[in-house]
């Protein structure tokens, strides 16, 4: 984004921020020609970083006091936008897209560049990090953490596709892609460096090179452990954490999703 002069740069940034909030521009978007099915738009992240450089510290807030770059105030919603923000300390930063029908339970936070699609629930203490892409009808349970990424600008953000169910205290980080209808049981943590053992298909899933960790469609992932055999570990009976795919979604799993819908 090469713009001469701060005034021109500010106009370009404000246009980008508005486009992000409307959902017409995204940090990553579906791309059938990409090996992962998603394309990272590095120029969007460059524009977001430009906003931090252009911004100056300012005080804001009604009742509570905040000090942040003036280019990234908290977003304000109207009833006509159809986003339900329940009282109690939630915040959505400017430059984030939140679609109609999203429910924000306090306290929760959505950072700049994030994309949260229709019908998603962001529960208490949940975080949607910068540039994270959240699909339709996703449930982020209490204390779920979806990691963000701005630098390096070509790095893939965390992506949760449609109808994913994320249990309480889960963490999804470092560009992990969770395919449609997958379920992460409470306490599951996914990173680039953590292999996932699929006991159904007999495979071990890993991030390799530029390819992120990808959780298959409909997979049900639970926290597990694997034995350690190096050094004294075997003698001491030690094991390390690892996520395990124990099944793929069926009618019983669908019932839990239906229950979540009734609670909205």
What is the per-residue pLDDT for 244? 97
Task: Tell me which CATH code domain 75-262 carries.
Answer: 2.160.10.10
This prediction has a pTM of: 0.91
Q: Report mean pLDDT in 10-residue bins for the chain, 264 residues.
A: 66 97 97 96 97 93 82 94 93 97 97 98 97 98 96 93 97 98 97 96 95 97 95 94 95 64 52
As a three-state string, the secondary structure of the chain is: CCCCCHHHHHHHHHHHHHHHHHCCCCCEEECCCCCCCEEECHHHHHHHHHHHHHCCEEEECCCCCEEEECCCCECCCCHHHCCEECCCCCEEECCCEECCCCEECCCCEECCCCEECCCCEECCCCEECCCCEECCCCEECCCCEECCCCCCCCCCCCEECCCCEECCCCEECCCCEECCCCEECCCCEECCCCCEEECCCCEEECCECCECCEECCCEEEEEEEEECCCCCHHHHCCEEEEEEEEEECCHHHHHHHHHHHHCC
pLDDT of residue 89: 87
Hunting for tokens 């449930």 — which residue is that? 139
Judge contact between 217 and 249, C-beta under 8 A: no
pLDDT of residue 154: 86
Distances from the Cα of 224 to the Cα of 104, 113, 190, 239, angstroms:
30, 33, 12, 10
pLDDT of the residue at 165: 97
**What region does 234 belong to: left with phi over 0, alpha with psi -120 to 50, or beta?**
alpha
Distance (Å, rounded) from C-alpha 34 to C-alpha 120? 26
Q: What is the pLDDT of residue 261?
A: 59
What pLDDT is stored for residue 7 in this prediction? 86
Q: Which two tokens stand for residue 247?
A: 């099944």
The pLDDT of residue 61 is 78
Calculate helix-pair angle for 42-54, 6-22, nearest 10 degrees.
130
CA 121 to chain CA centroid, Å, is 12
- Per-residue model confidence (pLDDT) at position 263: 47
* Residue 203 vs residues 51, 86, 200: alpha-carbon distances, Å: 43, 42, 8
How many angstroms from the chain centroid is the CA of residue 242?
21
- pLDDT score for 101: 97
Distance from C-alpha of 94 to C-alpha of 114, rounded to nearest angstrom: 10
User: What is the predicted pLDDT for the residue at 4?
Assistant: 41
């Amino acid at each position: 984004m090469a713009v001469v002069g701060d005034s021109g740069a500010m106009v370009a940034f404000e246009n980008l921020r508005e486009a992000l909030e409307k959902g017409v521009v995204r940090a990553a978007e579906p791309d059938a020609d990409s090996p992962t099915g998603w394309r990272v738009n590095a120029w969007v992240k460059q524009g977001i970083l430009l906003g931090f450089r252009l911004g100056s510290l300012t005080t804001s807030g009604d009742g509570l006091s905040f000090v942040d770059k003036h280019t990234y105030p908290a977003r304000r919603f109207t009833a006509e936008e159809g986003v339900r923000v329940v009282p109690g300390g939630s915040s959505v930063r400017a430059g984030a897209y939140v679609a109609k029908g999203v429910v924000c339970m306090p306290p929760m936070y959505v950072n700049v560049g994030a994309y949260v699609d229709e019908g998603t629930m962001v529960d208490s203490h949940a975080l949607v990090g910068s540039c994270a892409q959240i699909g339709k009808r996703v449930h982020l349970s209490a204390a779920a953490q979806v990691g963000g990424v701005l630098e390096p600008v070509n790095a893939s953000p965390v992506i949760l596709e449609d109808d994913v169910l994320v249990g309480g205290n889960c963490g999804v980080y470092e560009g992990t892609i969770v395919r449609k209808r997958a379920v992460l049981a409470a306490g599951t943590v996914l990173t680039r460096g953590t292999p996932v053992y699929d006991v159904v298909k007999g495979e071990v899933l890993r991030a390799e090179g530029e390819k992120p960790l990808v959780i298959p469609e409909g997979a049900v992932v639970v926290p597990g452990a694997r034995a350690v055999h190096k050094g004294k570990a075997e003698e001491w009976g030690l094991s390390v954490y690892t996520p395990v795919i124990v099944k793929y979604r069926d009618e019983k799993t669908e019932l839990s999703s239906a229950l979540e819908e009734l609670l909205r």
